[in-house]
Amino acid sequence: GLTGFLQDAGERVVEVERPGRPLRRNGAKSDAIDAIRAAREVLASKHQIEPRQRGEREAVRVLFATRNGAVVARTKALNHLQALAVTAPERLRSRLDGLTTTELTRHAARLRLSPDRSVEDQATVQAMRACARRALACEREADELEAELERILADQVPHLLTEPGVGPISAAAIYLAWSHPGRIRNEAAFAALAGVCPIPASSGLTTRHRLNRGGDRQLNRALHTITLSRLSCHPETRAYATRRLTEGKTSREIRRCLKRHIARRIYKLLEHTP
């Protein structure tokens, strides 16, 4: 891409967040105007962000995106299969009643066409079989890509995979956002990137904060998944949640506190573990 081309040419490259959108005079909009606004944003900012690295990180990115595509395709195929099962002819539908999604998928993948059935029956069987086989193929593809992701991550950030509640998918999202040591200046900036730091919204004598709805939502989702996993099976996290409940915190507030703590812990782990 453009970043790699400029770096190869010896130019210094920094990442720029999307500039604000001031009111445009007479609807003025062009690439040149946008480029000038982006340059002014960089010059006015206190901290300039290094671009994400390529190499292993780029390998993780393409595998992660492709695996997500396989998961989405599997979900669509299963939804289509369920819809076909509901509207199937009675003779076929009666054989499918009560089956779980997994059982339905495996059963539908083995359906056979019968010449003595009606055209409607044969078309429904063919469609259901195609959806089931597509879902199973996407599932196998996602599993293979996840295994390859885990192999790369085990080589690049093995200490991250040993953290409670961190699996290969959550680790991949974290690694993609972080990229390399020194890119994110401190753990507060990492928390802001993840959207887990409260935003001050005080005025006068009123002190209050509001939720951060920005940041990298894939990173935020990874921290949320890790939090839920720890709440279900990590003794120290469960003890913390119990203590905060007795102090009057709600479950949602406790999860927010945990996500902030986990972001701090993971940042220090990534930055300071060789």
Cα–Cα distance list, 144 to 64, 109, 155 (Å): 11, 20, 17
Residue 265 tokens read as: 């812990």
* pLDDT for the residue numbered 37: 78
Residue 206 tokens read as: 């009123």
**pLDDT tens readout for residues 200-244:** 777 776 777 777 888 899 999 999 999 999 999 999 999 999 999
* pLDDT for the residue numbered 198: 80
Reported as type and span, the H/E element at residue 210 is strand 209-210
* pLDDT for the residue numbered 4: 76
* pLDDT for the residue numbered 28: 66
E strands in the chain: 199-200, 209-210
* pLDDT for the residue numbered 240: 95
- Cα R_g (the chain), whole angstroms: 25
Residue 32 tokens read as: 């040149």
Please answer whether residues 194 and 223 qualify as being in contact, where contact means their C-beta atoms are separated by less than 8 angstroms.
Answer: yes
Residues of the chain with pLDDT under 50: none
Give 250-256 contacts, CB < 8 A, sequence gap 24+.
Answer: 255/224, 255/227, 255/228, 255/231, 256/196, 256/198, 256/211
d(CA 55, CA 25): 43
